[in-house]
Structure 1
Amino acid sequence: MREAGFNVRLLSAGPFVTMIDRFAVAPVLIPIAVEFRAPVGAVAIAATAYYFAYGLAQPFWGFASDRAGRIRIIRISLAATAAACTLTALAPNLDFLIGARILAGASVCAVLPSALVYIGDVIPFKTRQAVIADVLAAVAIGTAAGSLGGGFFARYLSWRLVFGVAAVIAAVLAVAMGRLPESNARPSTGGPIAQLRQAFHRPWARFLILFAIPEGAMVLGFLVYFAPALEATGTNAALAGLVVATYGAAVLAGTRVIKRFASRRGPRPHTWRPPVRPAPRWSRSPR
């Protein structure tokens, strides 16, 4: 049964703002290089370090959410994201910017996974797919908003503004999400190493991990450097951001299709069948 006080729009706002921070960097790499008078390759380290921290910090946040609670971890992560985005917007030099982006990557990575696990804790299976689709729609909109907003601000105002906006939204959400009820999931047993060992013993977990490697290379590699590649050919930052934003539009369309499909089809009922056992010998003996 869904817990009282659950608000999917408020929960979805967390992943939304983290996607703004995550995808705003693509169209602003060259404007940052121009402002700091640094090679684009050196500025790209900020993006690489961000995604490296994003991946390494996720297991830590997962273990923490099992013990401290999903909503508490989301709020802590959003508060840290607000601080990291503020430092990014105020960065006086490239080294400071790289440090701020490392902090941002290690902060934002907790929000979306914790939100999805929270949904699994509080939403019944028969309606869970539709709620997840709504959260992923917010992810898609945040992806498009980050790419488009980063390019627009870099072109007409300053690349710093998109991170300032993300900082304000994250700070507001860190407070507002206190209205969401905490889930009552049982804490996981065993330490972090034991939990990782249990996960790797599951075939589906191994498949998803292996599948995520090329998917991550595509999303975090190609999309991040596609916008600077366009800008290197003379395309302005706003147009480059718009091109990358089409990825978010495609994800949004896909989530709407999946939600409609899931609502029509619904979960398959599980029917129990007794095990088939061979008849005893006396029943097969000739009369």
Structure 2
Amino acid sequence: MLAIACFFSGAALRICDGLLPRLAGDFTVTPGTAGQVILAFAMAYGFSQLAYGTLGDRYGKARIVCIALFASAAGALACTMAPDLDVLVRLRILWGAVAGGVIPMSMAWIGDNVPYEQRQATLARLLLGTLSGMTAGQLAGGLFADSAWGWRGAFGTMCSGYLVVGTLLLARLRTIPSHAGAPPVRRAWLPAILEVLRMPWARVVLVTVMAEGIFLLGPLAFLPAYLNQRFGLALSVASGFVALYAIGGVLYAMAARHIVRRFGERRMVLWGGILMGAGFLAWFLIPRGWIAAPIALAVGFGTYLYHNTLQTHGTQMAPTMRGIGMSLFAFSFFVGQAIGVSLAGQSFDRLGPAPLLLVPALVLPLTGWAFARALKRRSEA
């Protein structure tokens, strides 16, 4: 049930990528300006984590996921009725704020109930739901952008999905103990956050995941618009190509147990960074639009070699305050995404695609190398 919940949360994270050119046309703005709908969602999603961690530790993580699903349905419904871009951006802030409880609290629930040596493989199974949702959301965004229903139809569909999975999860709450695996934690909000931030390893993990949000998810949001602009691909086709990014993550998730055992965490994050950087360079150099599709598949596989290792360490940053730890993890990730979308949008509008693609091509391999070094120092300590 948590994986299904993460499916719709993942779809919400990516559905606007393919819609940006349609939003830009409907509201007579540039794609970078239309990108405010992604920026607003990501910022609100990230900042809301600071509240959800405390609520999850106190009242139960599965219960918070269920509440967040119904609130997200209301947020998506409100977005379908937005009369202009300014109102839509404000409503996306509300939607992002209430949606923030789904994925991090699901991961924290697994952290409470699954031993560490089995956790990366279990999180990979949860990741199947998230990535399938990202695939569906990115593809649906392009399909709705090319249809008469447009962005209003896309958000209405999201509302329906949230309602269905929220109802199913509500029916299961009686069989999912709200505090399974972890007793309630009643620490004051700010002191608990500061306690986690004082942990050196927590700071390494949080800075690394913020860098991933800035240099991966930010530029990735403008990739369908880039393919549409450079190669003249229909938005549905461009979004479908980019959606293979999530399929690459699904392939990783299916093989995660064997990959972890064979390669180990350090080599996974190192090669993940190399694959991501090489993919962005290849997107810049390709002579034909269709080549973007297999590149997206490889980048997705590399991303989750890297990210799943990172989020596994996120669940272990503060075992006695896992909800707060995961909330800070998600906060860093999505604030990084918001910063990345803002920078990528300005770069795309003013400087074209070169900085959008070449900066991640350089930074992402360096980030993977740096985190691999940090893991080695930690294992030797």
Kept after mapping to 2: 8 A contact 1:51/1:220: no
Q: Are positions 1:248 and 2:246 aligned together?
A: yes
Deviation at 1:124, TM superposition (A): 4.1
Partner of 2:111: 120
Partner of 1:236: 234
Task: Give the distance between the partners of 2:116 and 2:24, measured in 1 at CA.
Answer: 48
**Higher-helix-fraction structure:** 2
Partner of 1:81: 72
- TM-score, normalised by the number of residues in structure 2: 0.63
Q: Deviations over 1:214-248 (max 9, x none)?
A: 10013330111122222233321101211221210
Q: Are positions 1:138 and 2:138 aligned together?
A: no
Q: Deviations over 1:136-192 (max 9, x none)?
A: 111111111111111012113423222211111111122211213123322224312
Q: CA RMSD in A?
A: 2.1
Partner of 2:151: 159
Q: Which moved more, 1:22-31 or 1:174-183?
A: 174-183
Q: Which moved more, 1:95-104 or 1:119-128?
A: 119-128
Q: Which moved more, 1:47-56 or 1:119-128?
A: 119-128
Partner of 1:109: 100
Kept after mapping to 2: 8 A contact 1:130/1:263: no
Task: Give the distance between the partners of 1:212 and 1:88, measured in 2 at CA.
Answer: 29
Partner of 2:5: 14
Q: Which moved more, 1:51-60 or 1:227-236?
A: 227-236
* Of 180, 183, 188, the match for 2:179: 183
Partner of 1:44: 35
Task: Give the distance between the partners of 1:58 and 1:46, measured in 2 at CA.
Answer: 19
Change (3 A) 1:228 1:206: same
Count how many residue pairs are aligned between Structure 1 and Structure 2. 257
Kept after mapping to 1: 8 A contact 2:58/2:186: no
Deviation at 1:81, TM superposition (A): 0.9
Partner of 1:271: none
Q: Alignment identity in percent? A: 30
* Partner SS state of residue 258, structure 2: helix
Task: Give the distance between the partners of 2:258 and 2:47, measured in 1 at CA.
Answer: 35
Gapped runs of 5+ residues in structure 1?
1-9, 267-287
* Of 196, 199, 204, the match for 2:201: 204
Letter in 1 for 2:158: A
Task: Give the distance between the partners of 1:243 and 1:218, measured in 2 at CA.
Answer: 20
Q: Which moved more, 1:137-146 or 1:178-187?
A: 178-187
* Partner SS state of residue 27, structure 1: coil
Letter in 2 for 1:194: P
- TM-score, normalised by the number of residues in structure 1: 0.83
Deviation at 1:198, TM superposition (A): 1.6
Kept after mapping to 2: 8 A contact 1:151/1:239: yes
> Which structure has the larger Rg over C-alpha atoms?
1
Q: Which moved more, 1:180-189 or 1:197-206?
A: 180-189
Q: Deviations over 1:74-118 (max 9, x none)?
A: 111111111111122222211221112111211222111100111
